[in-house]
Amino acid sequence: SNKKRYSAKSLCTPQNFARVQTTHPSGITHFCKRHLSIQTQDTPNPQSLKFLPGKPVLGTGTLDFPSASSAGSSTLARLCIIEGVKSVFFGPYFITVTKTDEDVDWTIKRHVSEAIETFFKSGYPITTGAVYNESSHCEDDDDIVSIIKELLDTRIRPTVQEDGGDVIFKGFDSGTVKLKLVGSCTGCPSSTVTLKNGIQNMLQFYIPEVDSVEQVEDEVDEISAKVF
């Protein structure tokens, strides 16, 4: 990846500061202007795209902005939610942008890249809100819940973050693990397969007490879905 990033930067010469778009065989697109290299990468969700600015976004943890109204704590999120963008998700080193629907063309990624570039030149903090790092371990957690959280943090979440999303533990009740999927996982056609064939199978392999895994939404998300 270092070689790809270098080759993208080398296109930005002092003689030509114009933005250059190059598409590599890997499906990664590079947007260059001056010395900032922004890569875009496909996700399993055709409505979501990962933007990699070549520098830390959160550094650690993730943060979800499911709508424009939720982006108040972040100038970067507000800049990215342009017309045609439904939600923005921050990872350690990437930004996932999700379109409102399939009718919106991905030509908007140029405008999102410009917004990201503008932000990183501003010097503003990424966010003033709380960042989701690891599943919070409570003294009240029993052994099963502790193991579930550990498996999520060490075995599952890193893989899901590679795809531009994240998994948040919301509870364990009567054999059912309740999880919230965010970022590119929201509305992804393959999210059910990920839950059942991936996460559920892994948790059941290590924890016989787990009967099933189900996706849940926060009350705020359900209200937003009804409004929009």
As assigned by CATH, the class of the 39-122 domain is: alpha beta
Task: Provide the pLDDT for residue 186.
Answer: 84
Confidence (pLDDT) at 188: 82
Q: What are the CA-CA distances from residue 170 to residues 11, 145, 155, 173, 216 (Å)?
A: 46, 11, 17, 10, 8
What's the rounded Cα separation, in Å, for the pair 185 and 36? 28
C-beta atoms surrounding 56 within 10 Å: 12
pLDDT tens digits for 206-225?
999 999 999 988 655 444 44
Q: Are domains 39-122 and 143-217 of this chain identical in fold?
A: no
pLDDT of 22 strictly over 50: no
In this prediction, residues 192-201 reach a mean pLDDT of 82
Closest of 166, 180, 169, 167 to residue 147, by C-alpha: 169
Quick one: pLDDT at residue 4?
A: 39
User: According to the model, what pLDDT value does residue 19 have?
Assistant: 37
pLDDT value at residue 136: 67
- On average, the pLDDT of the chain sits at 80
Domain ranges of the chain: 39-122, 143-217
CATH among 2.60.120.10, 3.30.300.130, 1.20.140.10, 3.30.70.360 for 143-217: 3.30.300.130
Q: Quick one: average pLDDT of 73-90?
A: 94
Mean pLDDT to the nearest integer, 157-183: 92
Per residue in 113-146, pLDDT (tens digit) is 999 999 999 888 999 888 877 766 777 778 999 9
Per the CB < 8 A criterion, the answer to whether 179 and 195 are in contact is yes
Of the pLDDT bands very low, low, confident and very high (cuts 50, 70, 90), residue 15 is: very low
Q: What is the pTM of this model?
A: 0.76
Q: Which residue has the higher pLDDT, 28 or 59?
A: 59
- Choice between 32 and 95, residue whose per-residue pLDDT is larger: 95
pLDDT of residue 42: 94
